[in-house]
Amino acid sequence: MKLASNSLPYGSFKKKLVDYFTLKFIINGFIISILLSLFIFLDLLNLKYISNLSLISAIFGFYFILKSNKKIWFWSGFFIGFFWFYWISFSLIYYDFTYLIPVEILGICLIYGFIFLAAGWLENIYIKAIFLLFASYIAPFGFDWLNFELIFVDTFFIPSIYTLALMLISIIIAIKFNIYFGISLLICSLAINYNNKIEYRGLPFDISLISTNISQDKIWDRSTKDKIVKNNLNMIDQAISDGSRIVVLPESAFPLFLDHSEILLSVLKQKSYQIAIVTGALGTSDNKLYNSTYLFDKGEVKRLDKLILVPFGEEIPLPNFIKDLINRLFFDSAVDYSHANSVSDYEIDGIKIRNAICYEATRDELFINEPKFMIAITNNAWFTPSTQPNLQSKLLKLKAYKYKTIIYHSVNGSPSQMITP
């Protein structure tokens, strides 16, 4: 019996779809994704030259993916989505939706799988290379952490889009003309960072970067609030004893609406005659909720609100009718955070410092006018233990180099650090 003519398109589509699940394509995509993601996991070892090993891995990853067909590109993107961003789903734990973690991870993997599939669809090596070069500009829901320039951070190479471009060009030459040890490596060598001995001077006074390790389920627990506040005040007093000019506490260090806590405000103002205090807390105005930085200095207080909010963490980047539904179903009808209208700076002893809170410190928009100094505060307890702090640190190092900005980063849930260009 012959099949009806209208069944042929469905049968053909089904066959094409099944072809994507060939074990060979899945394994190849998995291996490529490991090669292009290894630098994140090797960073956990915290060894000085380990990033150069992961760079070699990435070169092979670029080589194999540029030679691969669109089906392997889909699976490469699928597993890259997993290895780079599996940790995003961990925040569901604190909303009592732990059972949805596999669903969210699958969703992340599919998003990046289809993005890579679109890039590899035409089977054109030059289009594929352009995608890898500008991957960070393809940001689903505004999330732009997929950036292959990060592979060069902490290596002998300059971490920039130009280095990535030279690397991809050299690999294309190797694929097209099989010249591995000639033009290919010569072009790569042009990007070696010969100026790695340049020294950048930090702030001209001592600064205490506070690291805390408070689990996310404890931060907003009312029974622990007083203990957290007391510990914060003790750390401020210790910084005063150490002779620091500034003490920096992480994002949400004070788990309350600080601008409505008159007694605590008074205490912090009093301490600020001895030391400038930079700390995270909530803020409100005009019935709007803000994730804020508070600066206390010489008895005065200034609130600086976050500009760029975390997608699906602080705001739902979808139309209002969908946003309201998601907030009602998953966040107990909570409203999104509001954001500032522009970047914010403050001055301490006449020195201008750019304010940044967590995610926005990794965004180019925060580095407008190339600030010389930035103080960033972060709460990584949403995602730890995971590789999220390592990926975030790589991003901050990339931005520090790109904009020649010294970043002071105070963190809850992972080590604080000073990052120089």
> What are the tens digits of pLDDT across the range 339-359?
999 999 999 999 999 999 999
Q: Which of 104, 251, 314, 360 is catalytic?
A: 251
From residue 38, give the alpha-carbon distance in Å to each of 147, 240, 254.
Answer: 14, 42, 36
| Percentage of the chain lying above the pLDDT 90 cut | 71
Which of 8-17, 161-170, 213-222, 367-376 is least confident?
8-17
In this predicted structure, the answer to whether residue 131 has a pLDDT above a threshold of 60 is yes
Domains of the chain, each with CATH number or no CATH: 19-189 (no CATH), 207-419 (3.60.110.10)
358 is an active site residue: yes
In this predicted structure, the answer to whether residue 38 has a pLDDT above a threshold of 80 is yes
Prediction pTM value: 0.92
365 is an active site residue: no
> What are the tens digits of pLDDT across the range 298-308?
999 999 999 99
Q: Which of 71, 104, 109, 358 is catalytic?
A: 358
pLDDT of residue 5: 45
Q: Nearest to residue 377, comparing CAs of 210, 219, 153, 142?
A: 210
> What are the tens digits of pLDDT across the range 379-416?
999 999 999 999 999 999 999 999 999 999 999 999 99
Q: Please check whether residue 377 is in contact with residue 357, taking contact to mean a CB–CB distance below 8 angstroms.
A: yes
Q: How confident is the model at residue 324 (pLDDT cuts 50, 70, 90)?
A: confident
In this predicted structure, the answer to whether residue 287 has a pLDDT above a threshold of 80 is yes
Q: Which of 71, 306, 394, 399 is catalytic?
A: 306
CA dist., res. 378 & res. 242, Å (int): 23
pLDDT of residue 170: 86
| For range 210-237, the mean pLDDT | 94
Q: Nearest to residue 363, comparing CAs of 78, 137, 166?
A: 137
